[in-house]
Structure formats: structure tokens, C-alpha cells
Amino acid sequence: MRKTFLFILIMAFVFTSIAWSLKIGGKNLPDEFNAGDSTLILNGAGLRKKIIIKVYAGALYLMQKSSDANAIIEADEPMAVKMHFIYKAVSPEKLINAWNTGFSKSNISNLQEEIKTFNSYFTEDAKKDDIYDIIYVPKVGTSVYMNNELKGTIPGLKFKKAVFSIWLGEDTELPKLKKAMLGK
């Protein structure tokens, strides 16, 4: 009887853990995420790798699940990308180069000031276990949080589209992560 009770208790814990988060690259990514007044749900998650190095576990949060990258990019509704860093340290220069490569593959006409502002938020190494959140809320803009600290917000739907294209764009440098974020 005692073993049965212990087994049931362990199974309840396992299933409760599964219901509350997804583990990618050893990092727990929650099933829900708050953006403004909205509660977003985990759409999909995967690893950002550079060659064989695991850089971060990345997750996409939306109002409702979708596998249509273009519709997600175009949507004027709350959404977020969470990056939970796995690698020991990623320099701000490497992050900015990666952002700029992603921006160069999207329609960025007239967004140079916004990109410059966005890049200015990345001044320190992203260290193992750091969490970066890129959150879009309509009529507010795209906010960058590092370890729950707001670094700044850039207004505009056009900039949001450029940022989310980094992960979801047609020519993204991150096709495997894109597929995972789309739940495929």
C-alpha cells in the first residue's frame, strides 16, 4: 500500500511538472507568459545552436497556437520570445551581430533608429541562466527585458514585425528553431 501511494505521488508530481513547463536544453520554459494584460500560451520551443554549441532555449508565446509564421509576424496582438541562455557567456557584440543579420533579412526600411536603440540595450554578456524576454504589446511596442529588468520599449508594429522575423522570417538564420517555435 505504501509503495502504491508513493508511486501515485511521484506520478502526480511528474504530470504536474509537465503541465506547468517544457524542458528544453535543461531549461524550464513556462506554459504561460504574461504580456501586458494578456496571458500568452507556449506555442513552441527549441534550441538556438551555433554549430554544436547550445546557446539558448528559445520559446514563442502567442494568444493562441499557430504554425503560420507569416500570420504571426503580421499580427498586431501580444506575443513574446523568451531566451533562456545555456552557454557560459555570449558577448553583446555577438548578440548585436546576430540581431543585425536577422534584421537584414526583413523589411527594415526606415527602422535604422529603432534598430540602433534595440541594439543599445545589449551592453553586457548574456551569461548562463540569464533570461531575455522580447515582448510585444499593441499600442505599447516591443519591450526588452533582461532577467526581469526592463531595458526599454520601442513603439510600432513595423519594428515588431522586424524583430519577430529574426526567428520566424522566411530567410531566418534559425530554421530549426523557427520550426520548433512553430510547434512543428
> In this predicted structure, what is the pLDDT of residue 156?
95
175: CATH: 3.50.70.10
CB of 42 closer than 8 Å to CB of 59: yes
> In this predicted structure, what is the pLDDT of residue 7?
39
Q: For residue 2, is it within any domain? A: no
CB of 12 closer than 8 Å to CB of 4: no
Q: Name the band, by pLDDT with cuts 50, 70 and 90, for residue 1.
A: low
Q: For residue 10, is it within any domain? A: no
> In this predicted structure, what is the pLDDT of residue 21?
65
User: Going by C-beta distance under 8 Å and a sequence separation of 6 or more, which residues neighbour residue 121?
Assistant: 144, 146, 151, 152
Cell triple for residue 57? Answer: 532555449
Name the domain count of the chain.
1
Q: For residue 159, is it within any domain? A: yes
> Which pTM was predicted?
0.86
Q: For residue 85, is it within any domain? A: yes
Domain residue limits at 143: 24-181
pLDDT tens per residue, range 3-18: 443 334 343 343 433 3
Selection from 76, 94, 87 nearest residue 156 by Cα: 76
pLDDT tens per residue, range 17-42: 334 567 878 888 899 999 989 999 99
Residue 77 has what DSSP assignment?
Answer: S
Q: For residue 5, is it within any domain? A: no
Selection from 16, 38, 39, 41 nearest residue 30 by Cα: 41
CB of 162 closer than 8 Å to CB of 107: yes
Selection from 121, 135, 159, 37 nearest residue 83 by Cα: 135
> In this predicted structure, what is the pLDDT of residue 108?
74
Selection from 45, 47, 82, 42 nearest residue 63 by Cα: 42
Q: For residue 15, is it within any domain? A: no
Q: For residue 58, is it within any domain? A: yes
pLDDT tens per residue, range 128-174: 999 999 999 999 999 999 999 999 999 999 999 999 999 999 999 99
What is the C-alpha separation between 16 and 182, in angstroms, rounded?
Answer: 24
pLDDT tens per residue, range 64-110: 999 999 999 999 999 999 999 999 999 999 999 999 999 988 877 78
Q: For residue 51, is it within any domain? A: yes
CB of 64 closer than 8 Å to CB of 111: no
